[in-house]
Amino acid sequence: QMTTKHQYQWHIIICLLFLVCELNHSVTSVFPESSLLIMLGFILGGIVWGADKAQTFKLIPTNFFYYLLPQIILDASYCMPNKLFFSNLGAILIHAIIGTCWNAGTVGIALWACYEGGAMGNLNIGPLQFLLFGALISAVDPVAVIAVFEEVHVNEVLYILVFGESLLNDGVTVVLYNVFDAFVSLGGPKINAAEIIKGIVSFFVVAFGGSFLGVVFAILISMLTRITKNVQVIEAGFIIVLGYLSYLTAEMLSLSAILSITFCGVCCQKYINANMDEKSVTTLRYTLKVMANGSETMIFVFLGVSAIDKNIWVWNTGFILLTIFFVVIFRFIGVFFLNWILNQSRLIPIDITDQFVMAYGGLRGAVAYGLAALLDEKKIPEKNLMLGTTLIVVYFTVILQGITMKPLVQWLKVKKATHSDLTLNGKMNNRAFEHILTAMEDICGRMGDNWWTRHWNYFEDKYVCWLLLKSDARKHKDPIFGAFHKLNLEDATKYVTEGERKGSLDFIRNYDSASVDFKKKLALEYGDITPYITGIDNVPVTSVMKNPIPSVSLDIHEQDRKSLPDKLSAHHLLDQHLYKSRRDNRPTYSRSHYNTSENPDEMQEIFQRTMRSRLESFKSAKMGVNPAKKLSKHPKKDSTHKPNGKPADPHRTHPYGDEDFEFSADSASSSEIAGHFHRRSTNTPGAGVDNPAFIPEMDTSPPMRNPPWQTETGNNTAVAPSQRAQGRLPWTSTNLRHLALLRMSTRSTDSFVMADASLDEEAPEEKPGTHHTRL
Amino acid sequence: MGSTSSTLLKIPNVEVLMQETGFSPAHMIRLHDRFKLRCLFPQDFGAIKELAMNPIGDRIIGAFFCPGKETVDFHTFVKILAHFRPVDKNRPKEPNSPEPINSRSNKLRFAFQLYDQDKDGKISRDELLKVLQAMLGMQVTEEQLESIADRTIQEADLDRDDAISFEEFRKVSPEILHSRCFIKV
């Protein structure tokens, strides 16, 4: 008699065997891991069966639902790409809810029809039981989907649609299962409209209640990570425990536990990643992965083991074959139909090949088996038949469809996940296109997709982040900063490996910011060991390894010199300094509306530049190009604003005659900007005053510049002097940043002003002030 | 809806436009409303405050105005916006029909023309510098800008003429761009 201990020992041996197989890629490239595991499970089951003549080592539903499933879901939802998920949420929900109901209903009814038609011989079964069976077999299983799709790298949208559906359909499955289970208990005649309505209501309660509970736990977790600074070592533990708690709580309240833990993971990931230290984040990620992988392995092995059990094999060819047939057919019909409906309103329609893979990827797995095992034999005499059939369907989908998935995807030329290594050109172009698209949207005046995301981001900014993020996390919310930081770390590692490969680390350019810091730090540490620290022009060589080789002097060629740090610094610079566009926000956090409190400096800079160039183009258009003058620029922006009031220097004037522009003066539209652009006092006819924007000590004046539309129409014509920026030097590489002071002229009665002033008068009538309204 | 068709008729050459650009009647009406029955001057674009916040906003505005013309008419307006219409994958590929305006190639050409201000068909180092400067914050120093520009040209420039031609530009642009590059009109 094999004791439980021995059984578990065998189980662990099987898992180790599996790991060995993992290392051999030729095997795993053909067979997905899941199918291998199931087969190993067969072997293990055979061993146990051989020892005990009875299958004592089964997958008990309780174990499955409480100890094996939650961590897989938590891991999946924590690593879920939120952007994609929420932007495709509509499609996912439609597939999850309507698709699952469709599958359940059609499979149940079709099987019943065939039974009535005599295809299955004699069974002690009724239509309600068929429906119940249909409900439990209809659920696409997240575990199986993860297992199969992770080998095949399909494009992200397809993956998220299938995977999202598999996660969210739990709400429906649980409800359908419970409802039909209750109906079976009640018996046929007692079912009336009231019961059906109760069923529908229970769906809403279960699904939304579960999700809501998940969100509550997500909030709890995020708030918890705000204060766990001193116990970083066990932060990851807290999160796992709380995640599991959300699962159990939902289970206890008869809500959808999978939905609860899914939304918990999905909603908290951003905030806990921001709040926690990097090491904790890494710990959490890896812990979850280990637990999830372990559970997945065990689940599949158990699925294999459970097959070797004489009791469950009530063989009914008709039932089994028809089930498989209907499951597949109705899945395909359902998917194609729903996608056709969705494509009517989707911006990016789903390809036919993608749809095919979606339908083919409707894998059933352990959840179906667990639900079947939970059936009550007294109520449902044919439980074993159903259990056996469920297992066969699971094997069919996981093994057969799993193995054929990869070749199918290749044959259909499904678009794969894109992992492009962005070049500088690519980065620049991407950003340029974002700006272009933002501009086009503004010109068209449409909110488009951005409406929801803008409002959510606004809401999130104001309330959510205050509640859930630590104060210093709030400052660094920008994902670009996070990406930049990651890039820096990667590059630093590359730098070290590259240097060590060449025999030593060399400092290449002093004024390369990356290496400057590096050098400073190392210079301190190894100051006494480094005999060669040369100047800028030579190739400086310093050995910085722990066992220094002082006499190594590497002659790095020009090309090598340029390649690595150039690449690093160029990428850094682009990442760090490219202006963000409003579009840079899809549903995840980023700046969306230009609430200038977010990045006032950037907005000011852009605005100034635009105004300056517009002025210049007007000037040059009307007056001919003026003699070039030099401007100086203060590199840093002081973020303190001068309070409302007059500029300190009464002679200070503004470089562009804002008042001369005939841009409309919609004062109502600029509440957002109001906070940062104060009313300026009237211009004084200063004489030859330096351009205040470009003088260091006056750098508080830029915030005071009013956007032209904020000044009232009346003032424009009243202000006499026009201050004109003289033409600017063309920006050649030599004097890009070293521009000297600008001389201002005070001639106020130039034709430019006159022309503008006259146009200005017409302006208010012409423009009915719709610029700021969206159509 | 009666009003729809009558509004549609007010737009000159609307059939031709719809054919060329692929916009639907509803889109045309919306765009026309936005266009507000008059030719747009640069000032009108300037009045859209968000464009002032766009680092390359002025260049984009400039793209609407053909060289020498002071105004934009509806025809040009729609044609430019058509670049960013969502791609319709079901469009039959007639062999002799001209490339649709919202093809990847045309979108890239639009961007190329934004960079190439002197319209010589190449993006020179100076032009690239100007664009980079427009898009990068002021903390970037001159030398850093130069090194980025140099490296960018180096990546793209295949024929070693120290400038990026349209072909090179096209080759180096990532494929990702095309599928997400549209607006909902």
CA distance B35 to B75: 10
Chain A neighbors of B30, CB-CB under 8 A: 444, 446, 775
pLDDT in tens, A575-591: 666 776 665 443 333 33
pLDDT in tens, B78-91: 888 888 877 665 55
Q: Which residue has the higher pLDDT, A704 or A316?
A: A316
Weakest-pLDDT range from A239-253, A439-453, A497-511, A734-748:
A734-748
Burial A677-686 (b: 16+ CB within 10 A, else e): bbebeebbeb
Chain B neighbors of A731, CB-CB under 8 A: 126, 129-130, 133
pLDDT in tens, A141-157: 898 898 888 878 888 88
The alpha carbon torsion through A717, A721, A725, A726 (nearest 10 deg) reads: 120
CA distance A309 to A58: 9
Q: How confident is the model at residue A758 (pLDDT cuts 50, 70, 90)?
A: very low
Q: How confident is the model at residue A658 (pLDDT cuts 50, 70, 90)?
A: very low
Q: Closest Cα to residue A350, out of B30, B179, B46, B132? A: B179
Q: Is A536 on the interface with B (CB under 8 A)?
A: no
Q: Is A415 on the interface with B (CB under 8 A)?
A: no
For domain B13-89, give the CATH number: 1.10.238.10
List C-alpha distances in Å: A35 to A18, A137, A292, A306.
11, 19, 17, 14
Topology, domain B103-184: Recoverin; domain 1 (1.10.238)
Average pLDDT over residues A601-625: 71
CB pair distance less than 8 Å for A731 and B55: no
Q: Which residue has the higher pLDDT, A273 or A32?
A: A273
pTM of the model: 0.62
CB pair distance less than 8 Å for B176 and A418: yes
Tokens matching residue A290: 């280990």
The alpha carbon torsion through A423, A428, A431, A435 (nearest 10 deg) reads: -160
pLDDT in tens, A279-322: 888 989 999 999 988 888 888 888 888 887 777 677 788 888 88
| A263 neighbors A77 (Cβ within 8 angstroms) | yes
- Report ipTM for this prediction: 0.89
Average pLDDT over residues A45-54: 74
Task: Choose, out of B24, B32, B34, B43, the residue to mutate when testing the contact with A (most A CBs < 10 Å).
Answer: B43
pLDDT in tens, A618-651: 676 666 544 444 333 433 333 333 344 343 343 3
pLDDT at A248: 93
Task: Choose, out of A348, A452, A454, A573, the residue to mutate when testing the contact with B (most B CBs < 10 Å).
Answer: A573
For domain A61-412, give the CATH number: 1.20.1530.20
Q: Closest Cα to residue A715, out of A672, A667, A673? A: A667
| A480 neighbors A575 (Cβ within 8 angstroms) | yes
Q: How confident is the model at residue A471 (pLDDT cuts 50, 70, 90)?
A: low
CA of A184 vs chain B CAs: smallest distance (Å): 48
Residue A593, Cβ neighbours under 10 Å: how many? 17
Q: Which residue of B has its CA nearest to A610?
A: B52
Q: Where in chain B is the domain with CATH 1.10.238.10?
A: 13-89, 103-184
Average pLDDT over residues A700-712: 41
Q: Closest Cα to residue A422, out of A571, A586, A569? A: A571
Percent helix, strand, coil in chain A, to 5, is: 65, 0, 35
| A448 neighbors B183 (Cβ within 8 angstroms) | yes
| B123 neighbors B168 (Cβ within 8 angstroms) | no
Q: Which residue of B has its CA nearest to A602?
A: B137
List C-alpha distances in Å: A224 to A188, A220, A235.
50, 6, 9
When the pLDDT of each residue in chain A is averaged and rounded to a whole number, the result is: 68
Cβ-based burial of A529 (10 A; exposed 0-12, middle 13-18, buried ≥19): middle
CB pair distance less than 8 Å for A426 and B54: no
| A635 neighbors B139 (Cβ within 8 angstroms) | yes
pLDDT in tens, A177-221: 888 888 888 776 666 778 888 888 888 898 889 999 999 999 999
Domain spans in chain A, listed from the N-terminal domain onward? 1-52, 61-412
CA of A92 vs chain B CAs: smallest distance (Å): 19
Residue B136, beta-bridge partner list: A578
pLDDT at A484: 53
CA of B145 vs chain A CAs: smallest distance (Å): 8
Cβ-based burial of A466 (10 A; exposed 0-12, middle 13-18, buried ≥19): exposed
